[in-house]
A and B are shown apart, each in its own frame.
Chain A
Amino acid sequence: MTFSYQRITSQISRPILPIILRSNTKFVAYWGLVDSGSDYCVFDQEIAETLGVRLSKEEKVNIKGVSGKSIEGKFGILVLKIGDKNYKVKAVFAKIGKFNHGILGTKGFFDQFDVKLSYRKRTIEVNRSPQVN
């Protein structure tokens, strides 16, 4: 599957994919930034509330951005659909509103797909890869 970059401003284009986030009964069409620097997938907390995703009360993490400000994140499990592939993901949910789209990180994205980015061509090639542990 090949997707296009998104042009955000005249100076900024980003590798952002169309994704579907699902619970048992609901789904939200959303967008996710391909981010090999993130160990987990991260989505906005409002997504979890809308889908009714149960967030772990025990497994919390504090996430710090480059601004230095810390926000609380909680783990939850949902189904992520990219192209025609649906699979369960354990992701972090946090108030990342200022970041504006989800983050597709190593666990839950790069462990499912081989990914090739070409900024010059503005393309994101995403191909299924064998499951790795």
Chain B
Amino acid sequence: MPRIHIDHREYDVRPGRNLLETCLSLGFDLPYFCWHPALGSVGACRQCAVKAFANAEDTNGKLVMACMESVADGQRISIRDPQAVEFRENVIGWLMTNHPHDCAVCDEGGSCHLQDMTVMTGHAYRKFRFNKRTYRNQYLGPFLNHEMNRCIQCYRCVRFYKDYAGGHDLDAFASANRVYFGRSDDGVLENEFSGNLAEVCPTGVFTDKTLKQHYTRKWDLTSAPSVCVHCSVGCNTLAGERYGSLRLISNRYNGSVNGYFLCDRGRFGYEFVNVSSRIREPRIPVNTQGESWEEHVHKATEVFRGTRIVGIGSPRASLEANFVLSRIAGRGNFYHGVSSSEFELSKTASQILAKGTVPSLSLKDVEKCDVVVIWGEDVTNTAPMLALAVRQALRNRPMEKSIAANIPPWNDAATRERVQQERGPLVIGSYGTTRLDEVASMTFRASPGALSRVGCAVANQLDDAAPLAGTLDEEEQAVANEIVRVLRSARRPVIISGVSSGSMEVLQSAANMAEAVRRHNADTGLVLTFPACNSLGLALMEGRPFAELLHEEQDRRGTLIILENDLYRHADPRTVQKIVALFDHVIVIDHTWHETARNAQLVLPAGTFAESEGTFVNNEGRAQRYFQVYEPVNGIRESWRWLLTLGNALGVSQKGPWNSHDEIVRALAASADVFEPVMRVAPSANYRIYGQRIPRQPHRYSGRTAMSANRSVSEGKPPEDRDAPLSYTMEGTRLPPPSVAIPFFWWPGWNSVQSVAKYQDEVGGPLRGGDPGIRLLEPTSKAPLYFSVSAQKPPEVIVVPLHHIFGSEELSVLAPAIAERCPKPYLAAGPMTFGMHTADHGAVMRLEIHGRMLTLPVVVDPAMPKGVAGLPVGLPGMEYFELPASASVIMQLQNAE
């Protein structure tokens, strides 16, 4: 371990790091701009200058850029050296010559890295008295605002957007005093990770446009640690509220999951919490009288007492809510609110993770892999942050060369110069074009049957014990050989597949591949994606798919409780209507109006993720807790709380004698071995730090005594949180909370999100005390888990599901900004999909799937193979179809214009 001297004191430090990250990890305040822990160093801004001395006798020393110097044993540096201090102040003075000093009207103000660094260097007065250069700003779409005058030319935006996220439409133009960061002309920034620019930009050039609609300073937000609900990856977020509406979603660093970034669906999908289609008060069919909504509901449901209770759970509701419902309904009466095929797929996927030999990887682990095989998934659209991790993984193979050339990985400029456009192997087997194709070394576009045949053949070539699923043609054989070749060459291979393909054959063949590679390489990993934020959590619970209710004896009527679910998204309308008609009473607990809720007799308004606490299990198998951001108003309650009320009213409270979230978690943990660790995911509601709660509001929170003065001049008592150790005020501990319960990142002198470094063990490492979340599933088996895949005889045309990051997910599409990016329903077809009928762009096709007719305009995907057509799932206005499915009748109604 190298020992270095900083201002005459000795420190033992980690080798292989640069001086800047080392100083920051040691707790020193050293200003910087162009360096970013995830993007590395380029030595461009000259802000992190320190004095380096040749030896103990050297008193002159020389200025070096800390971000460009490796730590070395015996090194002597000074941060406080007067020359270094003056240099740093001058650098920021130059950077500020063109900065408009418009902090008072800038969205970044109060969480601005440039403000923090300016104060840190002591550049407190303006000295520049000339004209400042000005720019024209661009329209960049519904997510980001552009204000180029504030730019200090750190180049972080293009380095993130182009180099890290693979974007093509943001660039640096011109030189010297005219540098411009933007698109070539006005237009929507296309990359799915563009929202991160709001956090990557050290000042207010790129800011969150949705925040602007209801702007609130960082210090005025009531925030809580949350978990994204818009896909199965479970990125950690910070959710901020003011005046009863959710204002902002920002990144909550989790070294094992999302690191420093979020996708645009996760960052901008939050506005579904504020939309007018929210259910805000209970809808009760009979006139009841009561003091509170609870009493109303109690009286209204008492009449149902004694009837059989059936519960339908939800893949987007917490473990706790699903668990309480399953206990109220009782054994045999709890159903999963997912389609039968999704049920089977999720169950199988959970078995692969629990009973196979290959561990599921976190996103951090994926970034360390050097060979990636994606089977049947369009990860950019189904688990976006996974796609970002894959892009980083592809750098590992070529980076072996730069590391061998003594270029440390943190030295981004030199590394990229050495690596150029080289990428490690990425094989994508898919139904059609995917967004990662541009970085793939090989793509194979095929029907589910062909994908599974090839997958099984790969497994069989690697391990004789893996069963085949039919014979391959010449092209398929070549693909299989190539996959075997790259997998054998891997140091850390990862197989990525999941439930979104809709095909059991594809999922099982991917699992076979992973199991077979594992025989050769103990570092093999697997990633499976799921459709919703808690799909895996639900799959780990007992129960059957709700469509099976149809096959039951029809005379057993009773009460149906539907939890956070629009059944019309999981089954065709006729099936849902038939099931609902089986029951005398239908109760829906959800936060947003939909077809299922509209047709229920009793509707209870549930809190969204922002108004409740709970636990989700992400696709890795990681149980993660999210906390209530603000106390819900009107009749809105947490789902689990409504369920407790219902349980009491229906006379089944003895099945769940619980009053608090903690008690439910305890009962959940005791209910099954797999859920036992959920107890330890977060501290209980009684947890205190030196007797104090963790404040949700920063100490600078303003307007507290005045903000409700329009209703009452006396300040109301702040709500008390009985279910979490967090307070709803600014009072509480000033000490850093446990990593799972960090409500905002702030540190003296560090108001921006860059303060996260102060919460980490070391810069870029895990949060202090370990990253939040506990893995529930570890592979236990020694013997490989192989599936005998039954390859179905392919129909003439098979319609497969396609997914859209903006549109396919139920909740985010309710957010206006996301809806703006959502495509209209269409049918994707390749040039050869319909054999003789050539599909033209814009032609209108009529086809029959499962006996239902569907009329849609065609969008041509040149990559889609013969006999395969694609239907985007979940888009607003599209009915549910179980896919893949054969399409039997096809006619062209209208030619392309």
The answer to whether A and B assemble together is no
B residues lining the A interface (CB < 8 Å): none
A residues lining the B interface (CB < 8 Å): none
